Every structure is written in structure tokens, then in C-alpha cells.
């Protein structure tokens, strides 16, 4: 009788082990799909790669993540990424606040023209109370945000001339992403904003069908835009484009609490590393990235405070209009955080 009881206890113990946390991985997907706009040649894609590698190593392969750059799961349509993430078409993403702003109006905060004068201003917002409020909004929208990354300050380039004043933008056909706020900003500056995907944009620059674009310098360099007629760059820092590391809510809930914590911590670390990569060459006193541009025959224009102020004035009506749409209280909280920042 004792032997039989011992055997039963042993079998129960084995069964308990069989259904412990690692064994639950049997219910995990063999592969989780991470959507990215840019590949690993860019800081953005590198951040996704770092996150995926950390998660794979720390979960011993229980959570295996495959990268899908170029928004390839959505035929390159980056404006559909957030909806697809909510619906479970994609499992994870490192997404742009710009691309997701049509679905989450509060994310337009980061596209308000000339709100962020420096990197310290960006950090004061994303790493403070405003950043937490935005994450809460995203959670209510059906996703799980874990960490901030950064695509960077978006500078303007074109094939025609140096841009020092709003008048220099008049009549230029500028490629922009599919955001109404971008259309308003460039229309206010007298340009002709043209929405198109990044895949379509580069051939348009080469052929001269489109005059210019706005993107972080790291993107400009990795895409070698100096080879497609983008010979003039103005460092105007009109907006910064933070990235957000996110998981679909159902996928998140399917993981054990231990694995969720691993994924969260890996995202935070990957975000910090990605931000450092995105800012490299721009935060140093001599800004070596600008020297690389000039070495490629690019004319780099750096605005004085007075010149930048003219652009601020020209876009103020857009700022005021969108402040109301985003939520004046959120924008004012960001303004206060920026005013109180440590430079």
C-alpha cells in the first residue's frame, strides 16, 4: 500500500513538473512576428534585432522572434501597422509615433512642429509623466507598450537649394508620411507635401519627380540619399520621432508572468541601446555625422536661433490647431516638462 502511495505521489510530482512554466511553452507559437519599418542597417531595425536576441537568449528559445522589416507583413503600408498589431495580424512591433498617430491622436504630440528644442526635451517627455500617460492610452487601445526608442530628429533635404527661410520651401515637392499634421505643417510653409511609402520615395527622388524629404540623419546616411539627388540638408530639428516597443495584448497574456518580465526588461534595455545608436554622431560636440555628409558632397545648413524662429512663427497656427486635437492638457504637461528639463 505504501509503495502504491509513493508511486502515485511520484506520478503527481512528474505531472506537476510537466505543467510548470517551461512546459507551458508548448502553447507558445513557434515564431512571433515583429513588424519594423526599417531593417537592421538602420538604428530602428537594430533596436528590434537587439530586443529579439535578448528575448530568445533569456527564454532559452521559448520566445522566438522573427523580424519583418519594410512592414512586409502589410505590403509596406506603415499606416496600417497599429491596427494590424491590435488585431493580431502581427505579434510585436517597434513602431513610430508618427505612423501610429492616425489611430492614437495623442501620439501627434511628437509631431507638433518645433516642440522639442533638444534631446533633453525629448527625454523629459518620454521618460517622465507624459510618457507614462501615453503608455496608459496605448494600453486602453489594446496593446502592451514596454519601452521607448527613437528614430531621431527629422531634418529636411532636397535636390534644389539650401533651405534657410520658409520662403526657400515654397513650391518644393516634399515626400511626407501619411499624417494630416505633416500635410498641415508643410502646407503652412508653402511646400507641396506628397504622401508616399518609403519604398516608392527613393525612386521618386532619383527621377526628380519629388524634390525632397524629411528624415533623421541616420536614415539619410543608411539609405545613401546623397546618391538620389538629395544634395542639400538643413538641420532644423522640427520634430523628433520616438519609437515604441509593443506587444499584442493576447500574445502578452499567453506568456507566463516570468516570460513577460523577461520581454519587458529586454525591451527597456534594447530601447536604451537603440537610442544611443540613433543619436551617435549627433550628440558629440563636433557632430561627426555632419562631417560624413559634407564628405559625400552634401551642403549642410545649420540654422541660427533667429532663422529657426522664423520657421516656428510660420507653423504656429498648425501647432495651436493640433494642440486642441491632441488634448491641450497633455501638450501643456509636455511643455512644462520641457521647460523644467536639465540641459
Integer Cα distance of 145 and 244 in angstroms = 7
pLDDT of residue 178: 78
pLDDT of residue 75: 82
Whether 1 maps to a domain, the answer reads no
Mean pLDDT check: name the lowest of 154-168, 226-240, 279-293. 279-293
pLDDT of residue 177: 85
Whether 325 maps to a domain, the answer reads yes
Dihedrals phi, psi of 125, to nearest 5 degrees: -85, -50
Whether 309 maps to a domain, the answer reads yes
Examine the domain organization and report whether 73 and 193 are in the same domain: no
Examine the domain organization and report whether 194 and 330 are in the same domain: yes
Q: What is the CB neighbour count within 10 angstroms for residue 301?
A: 17
Quick one: residue 271, left, alpha or beta (phi over 0 = left, psi -120 to 50 = alpha)? Answer: alpha
Residue 177, SS3 per DSSP: coil
Mean pLDDT of 281-292: 91
Examine the domain organization and report whether 131 and 52 are in the same domain: yes
Whether 20 maps to a domain, the answer reads no
Examine the domain organization and report whether 107 and 217 are in the same domain: no
CATH number at residue 245: 3.40.190.170
Partners of 213 in the β-ladder: 157, 175
Examine the domain organization and report whether 323 and 204 are in the same domain: yes
Whether 9 maps to a domain, the answer reads no
* Domain span holding position 290: 155-239+283-339
Q: Considering its fold, how many domains does the chain have in total?
A: 2
| 234-272 pLDDT tens trace | 999 999 999 999 999 999 999 999 999 999 999 999 999
Q: 343: which DSSP letter?
A: -
Q: Counting Cβ atoms within 10 Å, is residue 246 exposed (0-12), middle (13-18) or buried (19+)?
A: buried
| CA angle in degrees (0–180, nearest 5) for 39-44-47 | 100
| 19-59 pLDDT tens trace | 444 545 558 999 999 999 999 999 999 999 999 999 999 99
Residue 106 has pLDDT above 50, yes or no: yes
Whether 23 maps to a domain, the answer reads no
Examine the domain organization and report whether 200 and 250 are in the same domain: no
Examine the domain organization and report whether 214 and 293 are in the same domain: yes
Whether 24 maps to a domain, the answer reads no
235: nearest Cα among 149, 298, 278, 174: 298
Examine the domain organization and report whether 73 and 162 are in the same domain: no
Element (H, E) at 137: helix 129-140
| 116-151 pLDDT tens trace | 999 999 999 999 999 999 999 999 999 999 999 999
Examine the domain organization and report whether 95 and 191 are in the same domain: no
Whether 5 maps to a domain, the answer reads no
| 55-94 pLDDT tens trace | 999 999 999 999 999 998 998 888 899 999 999 999 999 9
Integer Cα distance of 281 and 264 in angstroms = 28
Examine the domain organization and report whether 217 and 69 are in the same domain: no
Q: How does residue 6 score in pLDDT terms, banded at 50, 70 and 90?
A: very low
Residue 96, SS3 per DSSP: strand
Given CA atoms 286, 289, 293, 295 in this order, what sign does their dihedral have?
positive
Q: How does residue 163 score in pLDDT terms, banded at 50, 70 and 90?
A: very high
Mean pLDDT of the chain: 92
Amino acid at each position: 500500500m505504501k509503495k502504491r502511495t509513493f508511486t502515485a505521489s511520484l506520478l503527481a510530482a512528474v505531472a506537476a513538473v510537466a505543467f510548470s512554466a517551461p512546459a507551458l511553452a508548448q502553447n507558445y507559437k513557434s515564431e512571433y512576428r515583429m513588424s519594423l519599418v526599417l531593417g537592421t542597417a538602420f538604428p530602428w531595425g537594430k533596436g528590434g534585432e537587439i530586443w529579439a536576441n535578448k528575448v530568445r537568449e533569456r527564454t532559452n528559445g521559448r520566445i522566438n522572434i522573427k523580424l519583418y522589416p519594410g512592414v512586409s507583413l502589410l505590403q509596406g503600408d506603415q499606416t496600417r501597422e497599429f491596427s494590424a498589431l491590435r488585431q493580431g495580424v502581427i505579434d510585436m512591433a517597434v513602431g513610430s509615433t508618427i505612423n501610429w498617430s492616425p489611430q492614437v491622436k495623442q501620439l501627434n504630440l511628437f509631431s507638433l512642429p518645433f516642440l522639442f528644442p533638444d534631446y533633453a526635451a525629448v527625454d523629459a517627455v518620454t521618460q517622465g509623466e507624459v510618457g507614462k500617460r501615453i503608455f496608459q492610452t496605448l494600453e486602453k487601445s489594446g496593446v502592451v507598450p514596454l519601452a521607448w526608442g527613437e528614430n531621431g530628429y527629422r531634418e529636411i533635404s532636397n535636390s534644389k537649394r539650401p533651405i534657410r527661410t520658409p520662403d526657400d520651401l515654397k513650391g518644393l515637392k516634399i515626400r511626407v508620411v501619411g499624417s494630416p499634421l505633416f500635410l498641415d505643417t508643410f502646407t503652412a510653409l508653402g511646400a507641396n507635401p506628397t504622401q508616399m511609402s518609403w519604398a516608392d520615395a527613393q525612386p521618386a527622388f532619383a527621377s526628380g519627380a519629388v524634390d525632397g524629404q524629411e528624415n533623421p540623419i541616420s536614415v539619410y546616411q543608411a539609405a545613401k540619399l546623397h546618391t538620389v539627388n538629395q544634395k542639400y540638408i538643413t538641420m532644423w530639428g522640427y520634430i523628433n520621432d520616438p519609437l515604441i516597443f509593443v506587444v499584442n495584448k493576447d500574445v502578452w497574456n499567453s506568456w507566463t508572468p516570468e516570460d513577460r518580465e523577461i520581454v519587458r526588461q529586454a525591451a527597456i534595455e534594447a530601447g536604451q541601446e537603440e537610442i544611443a545608436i540613433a543619436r551617435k554622431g549627433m550628440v558629440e560636440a563636433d557632430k561627426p555625422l555632419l562631417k560624413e555628409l559634407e564628405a559625400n558632397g552634401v551642403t549642410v545648413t545649420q540654422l541660427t536661433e533667429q532663422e529657426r524662429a522664423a520657421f516656428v512663427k510660420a507653423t504656429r497656427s498648425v501647432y495651436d490647431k493640433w494642440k486642441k486635437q491632441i488634448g491641450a492638457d497633455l501638450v501643456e504637461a509636455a511643455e512644462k516638462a520641457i521647460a523644467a528639463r536639465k540641459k
